């Protein structure tokens, strides 16, 4: 069952500041964490499907990777048909489709190996295992879905989660994504700059963490902001050396602006009386990725809530020193969390 359970001396200085974390805490010792990464190049398996023996090659894949194969051909690519003759015909069309083969080859060229990605993901999982001891680690499958899904989570075998990683949405910021659908915002230049290898581990861990956190406890702005803040807080814990600009998916200049404008953003939220607002249309501009936020200064990016939400959660955890990450996730009262954080936005240096 698929579940999406759920992108000048001064300038140089601000870019450097904007790309690095503002946290100076000592990293936990993870040298004793043993992680065996379960990583499957399912994309390469797809390229081995035999057009002359479509049912046999499909069934071999189904036996080897039953949950993902069932999900991939039924839900993601919608190839499956219960009638064997119809299934055979559909599989032949899929296997011989020039667009599919071309995309598979592009993925193969962009990712001839994934050794560095596997190493970086293993490191992140060690931190994750440190903060969530005893929690089973998922299996990871790389694939391509005709630009459908960068990452997704599903129920795999042995009561483990499976994480699908769509490598066709990590082909690099110079890949011509806009030509796929010029009118779709997900293929805009601002969004596709994150369709790059350097974001892959972050987006993968984000899927795991968002699933652990769950949805916001309510529809209010404060509920959604705190939920986003928890996600960023945990991401920064499991990816402690990853630049903030990648964690937040802001540009370097946007990151620098957020670091300098925390008080300005917080004052705007309060003056607009947003904290208990539930109107999605009114709130979406603060919650979704975008080059700017209407009504705020031009330098303000979309998803300013990620930054402020993180600051609130960070202040809360610094006061609740005995709290574990599980305690943070289980804290569902957004108003109480804000009150107990005693959050005070950083003032701009004079």
**pLDDT tens-digit profile of 110-123?**
999 999 999 999 99
Helix (H, G, I), strand (E, B) or coil at 153: strand
d(CA 146, CA 107): 11
Per residue in 188-205, pLDDT (tens digit) is 999 999 999 999 999 999
Which stretches of the chain are DSSP H helices?
9-19, 42-47, 54-64, 66-71, 84-96, 98-110, 115-131, 189-192, 200-213, 221-238, 244-248, 252-260, 262-271, 280-287, 304-319, 325-330, 334-341
| pLDDT attached to residue 2 | 44
Tens digit of pLDDT for each residue in 298-309? 999 999 999 999
Pairing relation of β-strands 2-3 and 151-155?
A: antiparallel
pLDDT, tens only, 121-175: 999 999 999 999 999 999 999 999 999 999 999 999 998 999 999 999 999 989 9
- The domain limits of the chain are 42-104, 214-350
48 half-sphere exposure, CB direction, 13 A CA radius: 12
Among 97, 88, 182, smallest CA distance to 144 is for 97
The kind and range of the H/E element at 154 are strand 151-155
> Could you tell me if 244 and 21 are in contact, meaning their C-beta atoms sit under 8 angstroms apart?
yes
Share of the chain above pLDDT 90, in %: 90
- 199 contacts 177 by C-beta, under 8 angstroms: no
The pLDDT assigned to 306 comes to 98
Tokens of 88: 């055979």
**C-alpha to C-alpha distance for 149 and 201, rounded to whole angstroms:** 15
Distance of CA 212 to the CA centre of its chain: 13
């Amino acid at each position: 069952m698929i579940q999406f359970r759920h992108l000048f001396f001064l300038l140089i200085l601000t870019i450097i500041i904007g790309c690095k974390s503002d946290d100076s805490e000592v990293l936990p010792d993870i040298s004793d964490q043993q992680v065996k990464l379960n990583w499957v190049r399912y994309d390469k398996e797809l390229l081995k499907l035999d057009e002359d023996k479509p049912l046999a090659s499909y069934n071999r894949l189904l036996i080897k990777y039953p949950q993902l194969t069932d999900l991939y051909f039924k839900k993601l690519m919608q190839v499956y048909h219960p009638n064997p003759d119809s299934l055979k015909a559909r599989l032949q069309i899929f296997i011989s489709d020039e667009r599919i083969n071309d995309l598979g080859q592009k993925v193969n060229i962009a990712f001839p190996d994934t050794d560095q990605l596997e190493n970086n993901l293993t490191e992140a999982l060690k931190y994750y295992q440190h903060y969530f001891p005893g929690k089973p680690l998922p299996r990871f499958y790389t694939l391509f879905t005709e630009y459908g899904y960068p990452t997704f989570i599903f129920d795999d075998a042995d009561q483990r989660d499976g994480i699908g990683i769509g490598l066709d949405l990590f082909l690099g910021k110079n890949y011509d994504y806009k030509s796929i659908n010029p009118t779709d915002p997900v293929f805009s230049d601002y969004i596709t700059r994150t369709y790059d290898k350097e974001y892959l581990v972050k987006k993968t861990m984000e899927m795991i963490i968002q699933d652990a956190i769950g949805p916001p406890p309510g529809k209010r702005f404060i509920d959604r902001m705190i939920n986003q803040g928890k996600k960023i807080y945990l991401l920064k814990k499991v990816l402690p050396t990853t630049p903030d600009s990648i964690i937040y998916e802001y540009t370097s200049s946007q990151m620098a602006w957020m670091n300098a404008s925390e008080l300005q953003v917080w004052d705007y939220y309060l003056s607009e009386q947003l904290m208990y607002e539930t109107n999605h249309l009114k709130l979406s501009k603060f919650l979704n990725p975008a080059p700017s936020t209407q009504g705020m200064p031009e330098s303000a990016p979309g998803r300013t809530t990620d930054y402020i939400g993180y600051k609130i959660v960070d202040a809360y955890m610094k006061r609740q020193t005995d709290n574990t990450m599980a305690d943070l996730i289980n804290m569902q009262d957004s108003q109480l969390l804000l009150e107990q954080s005693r959050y005070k936005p950083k003032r701009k240096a004079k």
